[in-house]
Amino acid sequence: VSNAGVGMAGPLECQSLAAMQSLMDTNFFGLVRLVKEVLPDMKRRRGGHIVVISSIMGLQGIVFNDVYAASKFAVEGFCESLVVQALRFNVAISLVEPGPVTTEFEAKLYEEAERADYSRTDPETADIFTNVYLKNSKDVFASLGQTPEDIAEHTLRVIEAAKPPFRHQTNAAYTPMAALKHADPSGALLTAAFYQLLFRHSSVLRLGLR
């Protein structure tokens, strides 16, 4: 089970390339290093199961989570490319894709975001992040967040499955988001929906979540 991960949220201009590279080294290359270690023996034995804790953000990017989402997209692409070859050797690969999970990980991330320096971006972007995104995110976690124990139960079901799924989403509330993306390959439908929720109906969104 690969579960290493770090987060990053905020305006792109305020994040250093060194921090982005460090995040990718943990979230993506950490997985790559693990798979390189375990896969050869699994192939020799003609059996094994690699379970990767991905994210719903590996399927859909979320505003102000540019680099974190990119790392999870990389995880998804890596596993999607590898799964067919692995099956030839009777090795299963499963992606567990949680939405928001209420942990100290997230609490620390948002504490850091609230006291960060946003002078490297324009005032409008800083205002959108601090007064729209952060407020909405707290409501999302309060309303839709799962416990670590719940994610562990989902992961255990994937591990014990007679035919392990390649993808397993843990939060049904995010099914419509994934469906919108598949319904319109151009991306226009989902982009418009997110724009309306963030900039036109933000107060209605927060009220609904509460």
pLDDT of residue 204 exceeding 70: no
| 150 to 8, 99, 155, 182, 186: CA distances (angstroms) | 23, 12, 9, 27, 34
pLDDT per residue as tens digits for the range 135-165: 878 777 777 888 899 999 999 999 999 999 9
pLDDT per residue as tens digits for the range 45-76: 999 999 999 999 999 899 999 999 999 999 99
In a domain, 84, yes or no: yes
> Residue 196's domain spans which residues?
12-209
pLDDT band at 111 (very low <50, low <70, confident <90, very high): confident
In a domain, 93, yes or no: yes
Residue whose C-alpha is closest to residue 108's, from 209, 205, 9: 9
pLDDT: is 143 or 210 the higher one?
143
Q: What is the mean pLDDT of the chain?
A: 90
Number of domains within the chain: 1
In a domain, 154, yes or no: yes
In a domain, 5, yes or no: no
In a domain, 7, yes or no: no
Q: Which of 68, 110, 133, 195 is catalytic?
A: 68
Residue 68 bears catalytic tag: yes
CATH number of residue 107's parent domain: 3.40.50.720
| Residue-level pLDDT at 209 | 58
pLDDT band at 183 (very low <50, low <70, confident <90, very high): confident
pLDDT per residue as tens digits for the range 121-135: 999 999 999 888 888
What's the pTM value of the predicted model, to 2 decimals? Answer: 0.89
